[in-house]
Chains A and B, each alone.
Chain A
């Protein structure tokens, strides 16, 4: 077993990186995969909250890197999924306490015993971002169908390309069909056409995402919710399955949209 390291990045903050990391972790674990998530958003940790593991933190990422505990001690086991673990971020440290080399070493230590290592990255392109992408085998770029979020996603993709990292896959989060129909929001085809990387998921705007995150039970634990289903689909696509995209926006011909969506990206 050799885990694949997947880093979730965005450029802009608040687009849904942490939500995506938590839900993909749950979806992959529910399918029987061994998953460990790493919260690389040092100083602003919140993956533990969304996963409902906040009250069980003893050691964190910086403790591991600085040798104050063994790796296993910092891995919080999720009781709902025996094969899901979290390495939380330090709450009070600055991001320079971890280096890209530390992240690569850490992941190399985790790889043999897991299927997936998911890294939640901070917003921006500074040191924390470079830490998060250093060990990545694949990047998931999360954006919202908004001009400013897409602009920042484009910037991040440019950096990923310059770093010769990748492949990068696109997740469009918070798609709102009503706004698209009114012509007030970019369609997923618009976003995909501009960013020109392969699309791996479209997640609808869904208030149950917020409600379930607040309860520490990611929405993917509830298969009835549309956003939950979307995250399960992404998990299956990560595993190489071909899963049709949910039909979330249709400003013009429905079939035309679908065929455009599943066309792979330009690069």
Chain B
């Protein structure tokens, strides 16, 4: 196959966060082979690279994405992020622990935003439980309708709202916004960070955070006050 056709299948360019690979239309198997061939042809260029894969609206399942990641890692390349407008693809990437959004500076630059660290009103809604190994990073607010299990991680530039049990790790205001907050129906995270603050509260947990506190739990909210994270009962009347 000629170089020219390969370039129609995949496009590679350098970005701040590594190499951005954009795949075109066509059979996945063929695109995958084209990418691996590129990587092998230019082994020294690719070695140690961090790759972002833009899949457009293509639907990929864990088997395909996982095996591509294996193939790339065998060649010394780490596939750390996948961008896609397909929900299945995005969810699969998250389950495999890959990022699905690039860090915000790039995004806000692209949009000409003047706000810097502020997440504005952008939000993403996840209508499922985030299981162990899932990593969700987003340059806005994150709303989860479901649980966030131990071993799952949320990194948001804005607030994090969990309509369920929060037992994984969470970092709100991740790009440096200390006015961000985290709330959950049951707030028992393995680790909680807001901007540069780490929770200093005794973590109420049983057997390494696998199981939340016993009995009925109250919705709670965590925020930064006087230079530390405090956790309070959620009281809508006060708001």
Contacts and interface: CB of A to CB of B under 8 A. Distances in A.
Interface of A: 100, 125-127, 130, 134, 147, 150-152, 154-155, 157-159, 161-164, 186, 190, 193-194, 196, 267
Contacts of A267: 129
A193 B150 CA distance: 13
Contacts of B207: 147, 186, 190
Given A186-B210, A194-B211, A100 B63 contact: yes
Residue among B91, B95, B96 with most chain A CB within 10 A = B95
B101 interface: no
8 contacts: A147-B207, A152-B132, A154-B150, A155-B133, A158-B132, A161-B131, A190-B207, A267-B129
Interface string B47-75: 00000000000000111001100100000
Q: Which 3 A-B pairs have the closest CB atoms?
A: A158-B131, A154-B132, A155-B133
B63 A154 contact: no
A151 B147 CA distance: 14
B44 interface: no
Nearest to A148: B208
**Chain B interface SS verdict (over half):** loop
Given A127-B70, A130-B67, A194-B211, A155 B132 contact: yes
Nearest to A150: B210
A158 B211 contact: no
B211 A125 contact: no
Contacts of B132: 151-152, 154-155, 158
B92 interface: yes
Contacts of A154: 131-133, 149-151
B210 A130 contact: no
A267 B61 CA distance: 20
B93 to A, nearest CB: 9
Interface residues of B, number: 25
B147 to A, nearest CB: 8
B52 to A, nearest CB: 20
A154 B66 CA distance: 17
Residue among A151, A162, A164 with most chain B CB within 10 A = A162
B134 interface: yes
B150 A127 contact: no
Given A186-B207, A190-B210, A162 B70 contact: no
A202 to B, nearest CB: 17
Nearest to B210: A147
B92 A162 contact: yes
Given A125-B66, A127-B70, A154-B133, 9 more contacts: A134-B63, A147-B208, A159-B95, A162-B91, A162-B92, A163-B61, A186-B211, A190-B211, A194-B149
Contacts of B134: 158
A155 B131 contact: yes
Contacts of A126: 66, 70
B136 to A, nearest CB: 12
Interface string B117-146: 000000000001101111000000000000
Contacts of A190: 207, 210-211
Contacts of B133: 154-155, 158
Interface in B141-185: 147, 149-151
Contacts of B66: 125-126, 130
Nearest to B149: A154
B140 to A, nearest CB: 23
A188 B211 CA distance: 12
B203 to A, nearest CB: 14
A108 B147 CA distance: 37
Contact of A155 (B63, B70, B88, B151): B151
Contacts of B91: 162
A267 to B, nearest CB: 7
A157 B62 CA distance: 12
Nearest to A159: B62
A152 B133 CA distance: 9
B63 A163 contact: yes
Nearest to B131: A158
